[in-house]
Homo-oligomer: A and B are copies of this chain.
Amino acid sequence: MPLDPAEIQAELDRRRPGQSKIVTQRKEADEVEILSGVVDGLTVGTPIGMMVRNQDARSRDYDEIRDKYRPSHADFAYDQKFGIRAWSGGGRASARETIGRVAAGALAKKALRLLFGVEIVAYVETVQDLKASIDPLTVTLDQVESNIVRCPDPEAAAKMLDRIEQIRKDGNSVGGVIGCVARGVPAGWGEPIFDKLEADLGKAILSLPACKGFEVGSGFAGTLLTGLEHNDEYFADEERHVSTLTNLSGGIQGGISNGMPILMRAAFKPVATILHEQRTVTTDHENTTLKGRGRHDPCVLPRAVPMVEAMAAIILLDHALRQTPNSLTFS
């Protein structure tokens, strides 16, 4: 397929620190270099290697955490596991690793669009208790990108912006929920039993930093309904195309897509780095306190939107390419 590095860069810029006043002010250009797999602007079927060099690694910002575990960070768990820790910048637990996910996701989104007509849009749905009103059937990328919160409901976005600004001034942080829809997925993607489509999507999104929960379709709210209310009744139109009247299943039944839009939600906790003193222990396991400093993210959600899209796209493309061609039949 045709591939322009600028397409990848555009996605990386949505994830990049310093892109707006409500995200961390670390200055990371995150410039991507395509190392392989593209000749004369066309992918040639070989692996596409991409590299982003870290240009703004200020190790001195991390001096204090060399000897102290940051609360609710992975420092302690990593040290317990590996006995050694790349403390500078958080090592592998740093959300910097999501650059690779977003770069790969840019490719997956493009392939899904060109090969299958599938479109994936993620958006900020809540920040703390502030809830946006969004229609996943019609929401567009332009609406999402119309403000720096990446919330396509302008009114809610304005309130969220105020909240995040306030929280940033307080040196505190907030979390929220990101919604994501995949439109145009045909019926039949997914696998029975273990590799159900919602299970693979769940794993991919739960592997994002700060993600603590995942829902498909009605999710936790669906547990309040009865079967009579929750069931998605089928109907056929005049061309015998089958749809459901409701979509509480979120486009997946028994692990396999049913042709309706796939609906997901992911919970992101408030980021752990805050500019307040908190109890913690040293690497020698002595009690102490630690106060975050430097350039922190008051709310990870605006930057997590492209990450969620990326993970959804990668999983969907993987399942799309597993489909056995219909031409293979025993007739």
Report A's interface with B, CB cutoff 8 A.
Answer: 1-2, 35, 39, 42, 44-46, 51, 69, 71-74, 76-78, 80-86, 88, 91-93, 97, 114-115, 126, 128-129, 167, 172-177, 186-190, 192-196, 198-200, 202-204, 206-207, 209, 212-220, 222-236, 240-242, 244-245, 248-250, 252-259, 267-274, 276, 278-281, 284-287, 321, 323-330
Expressed in whole angstroms, the minimum distance between the Cβ of A201 and any Cβ of chain B is 8
Complex formed: what's the CA distance from A73 to B323 in Å?
21
Q: How far is the CA of A188 from the CA of B51 in the complex (A)?
A: 30
Residues of B within 8 A of A250 (CB): 212
Inter-subunit contact A236/B173 (CB<8 Å): no
Residues of B within 8 A of A270 (CB): 222-223, 225-227, 229-230
- How far is A73 from B93 in the complex, measured between Cα atoms in Å? 39
* Count of identical protomers in the assembly: 4
Q: Are A187 and B325 in contact (CB under 8 A)?
A: no
B212 near A219: Cβ-Cβ < 8 Å: yes
Chain B positions within 8 Å of A321 at CB level: 324, 328
Check if A72 sits within 8 Å of B230, measured CB to CB.
yes
Q: Cβ of A253: which chain B residues have Cβ within 8 Å of it?
A: 72-74, 76-77
B240 near A285 with CB under 8 A, answer: yes
Closest to A254 in B: B74
Bound form: Cα–Cα A173–B220 in Å: 16
